[in-house]
Amino acid sequence: MEYDEQHLEALAVSLNDPKVREEYKAPYDGHKCSFVPRFLGGFIVMAGNIVFGDTPSYLKFRAVEVIARVPYHSWDSAAFTILTTCYSNAAKALELGHTSRFARMAQDNETMHVVVISELSAQEEQANVIIHTVIPMLFAFFYYWMSYVLYLLKPRYSMELNYLFESHAFEQYSLFLEQREHDLKRKPVDSEYLRWYGRHAKSHYELFELIRNDELIHRNRSIREIEEGHLR
């Protein structure tokens, strides 16, 4: 079962192998997004870089994760809304069911990211309430409704916007692992939430490797939703 938690966890672990990761990543590298998601995605990434800086950091990732988790809840909610009127259309219900299953697994996964990264950032960096708490909440609010309305009007655009945001997250985690490898490998992880989720990571490095892999899964899956769900 593709959306089984154990299957997803095994997939994330398998992507630690650079060869496996490259093979998994390559087919969706060149996806050509439409103008609207490119414009919105470019704006969000640019605004994020201005507010949180170009360089990856614990607090930048905390903000990214506050924002990155909302489209999944938004799609689940939008799909639920559409079914209030489309329940007699089984084909449509199946299409929406695809999205909802993906969205439910991904939102739990993203929630784990934000909770655990928040725990780590409290030990590592000093947060500014306006920049690191209030602004990400505002971003998340607007991103939620942007994803919701786009999903109702043009689901393909909403998936492509997510593809771009997840691509950015994947690149930032890859850069962080490269820049801070030595330091991250020395730091142990001890999180009750992570254990409850069912993930095992001994060091910050191992944790961030798996989170990077999760973002790649989300990125690819967004485009597969378009292909398999035949989204407009």
- 81-107 burial, b if ≥16 CB within 10 A, otherwise e? ebeeeeeeeeeebebbebbbebbebbb
Question: Binders of Fe ion among 155-174, rule CB under 5 A?
Answer: 166
Least distance to Fe ion, CB of residue 92, Å:
26
Interaction of residue 95 with Fe ion, rule CB under 5 A: no
Interface with Fe ion includes 113 (CB under 5 A)? yes
Q: Judged by CB under 5 A, does residue 73 bind Fe ion?
A: no
Neighbour tally for 204: CB within 10 Å? 23
The label of the residue with tokens 């993906």 reads 102
Cβ distance to Fe ion smaller for residue 65 or 82: 65
Site for Fe ion contains 215 (CB under 5 A):
yes
CA–CA gap between residue 128 and residue 57 (Å, rounded):
14
**Residue 105 or 231: which CB sits closer to Fe ion?**
105
**CB of 86 or CB of 133, closer to Fe ion:** 133
Instruction: Collect all residues with Cβ–Cβ distance below 8 Å to 27 and sequence separation of at least 6.
Output: 220
Contacting residue, 60, 62, 199, 218, with Fe ion by CB under 5 A: 218
Supply 104's token pair.
């439910």
Interface ranges with Fe ion (CB under 5 A): 65, 68, 110, 113, 166, 215, 218
